[in-house]
Amino acid sequence: MTAYAKFVDVTICTGCRGCMVACKNWNDLPIDTQAYNGTYQSHDKCDGKTWNVLQMKEFETASGGFEWLFRHQACFHCTDAACEKVCPENAITTTDMGNVVIDQEKCVGCSYCVYNCPFEIVALADYVNEDGKIVQRAQKCDMCDSRIHEGLVPACSQTCPLDAIVFGTKEEMRKLAEERLAIAKEKFPNAMIYDPPGVDGTNMFYLLPEGPEAFDLPVNPKVPTSAVIWKDYAQPLGKMALGGTVMAVATAFITNKLFNKGHGHDEEGGDIDESTKE
């Protein structure tokens, strides 16, 4: 499998929001007007109706001046994706190109993916099904799956006027990132490539002018321990050792313990807060 990636160069983004508009248009996402939050940023973060948000940060330079920095915020498409691990319906998968997608026909809106995403990107959104009932389904950027599998680039990359968002094989994008890093360091001495090893790398990665803390990103995101236990141990062993109703009861017990909805994330990437369990 040849992994493809979206490389985002924060050091040259001008904050035009063209990527946000293109994402809304291509994916036919609904209008999601939010109350003014006291900043120029239109949305606090990605949600089920807005898969792509431009983060705006006022940054203090070494000389004491200020500079606006902008970050295209979307799904990271982790190589080792926690959302995929915890999905009980196998509704979340990684394609042959490395992007992580959600099958809306299989998703049941359980929210396990929401509470285990190390980057807090996945969200639920209300939808009306064929029976006219409002249901919730997990939503996030799919890296324009329908485009890239037809030889096109993601809509956000297509519309970016400065090539701050570039799409290609992970190998090509990594090489480009290293080339641009050398240039960026002339202006931003602390510039770095953000491609976290704790999730085995991501297929949407950054060239940041400062460390991840400056952009509210986790320093060392990891797949939650609960997700590893669930996917790699509990499920396979349970299927071999148990059958029928017994397996269903065991699954329900493990699910409740590991993914009790509504609890927060820990700093290592999404484990459930033990202090709030019953």
pLDDT over 90 percentage in the chain:
62
What is the spatial distance between Cα 138 and Cα 91, in angstroms, rounded to a whole number? 10
CB of 220 within 8 A of CB of 202? Answer: no
Predicted confidence (pLDDT) at residue 265 exceeds the cutoff of 50: no
Predicted confidence at residue 36, as pLDDT, reads 64
Predicted confidence (pLDDT) at residue 264 exceeds the cutoff of 70: no
Predicted confidence at residue 30, as pLDDT, reads 85
Q: How many CB atoms lie within 10 A of CB 248?
A: 12
What is the spatial distance between Cα 172 and Cα 180, in angstroms, rounded to a whole number? 12
DSSP-based three-state secondary structure for 41: coil
Q: H or E segment at 25?
A: helix 18-27
Rg, the chain, Cα only: 20
List the domains of the chain with CATH numbers.
4-78+146-215 (3.30.70.20)
Q: How confident is the model at residue 67 (pLDDT cuts 50, 70, 90)?
A: confident
What is the spatial distance between Cα 82 and Cα 226, in angstroms, rounded to a whole number? 10
What is the spatial distance between Cα 41 and Cα 152, in angstroms, rounded to a whole number? 29
What is the spatial distance between Cα 203 and Cα 170, in angstroms, rounded to a whole number? 7
Q: What is the dihedral of CA 14, 140, 122, 129, to 10 degrees?
A: 140
Predicted confidence (pLDDT) at residue 262 exceeds the cutoff of 50: no
Chain mean position to CA 150: 22
In order, the DSSP letters of 150-210 are: TTPPPHHHHH-TTSSEEEEEHHHHHHHHHHHHHHHTTT-TT-EEE--GGGT-BSEEEEESS
Predicted confidence at residue 276, as pLDDT, reads 37
Q: How many CB atoms lie within 10 A of CB 228?
A: 16
Q: Is the dihedral of CA 24, 30, 31, 36 positive or negative?
A: negative
Long-range contacts of 150-153 (CB under 8 A, 24+ apart): none
CB of 181 within 8 A of CB of 192? Answer: yes
> Which residue shows structure tokens 């029928």?
244
Q: How confident is the model at residue 269 (pLDDT cuts 50, 70, 90)?
A: very low
The amino acid at residue 219 is: V
Identify the top-confidence range among 51-65, 118-132, 144-158, 260-274. Answer: 144-158
Predicted confidence at residue 260, as pLDDT, reads 55
Tens-digit pLDDT profile for residues 71-108: 999 999 999 999 999 999 999 999 999 999 999 889 99
Tens-digit pLDDT profile for residues 195-237: 999 999 999 999 999 999 999 999 999 988 777 776 666 666 6
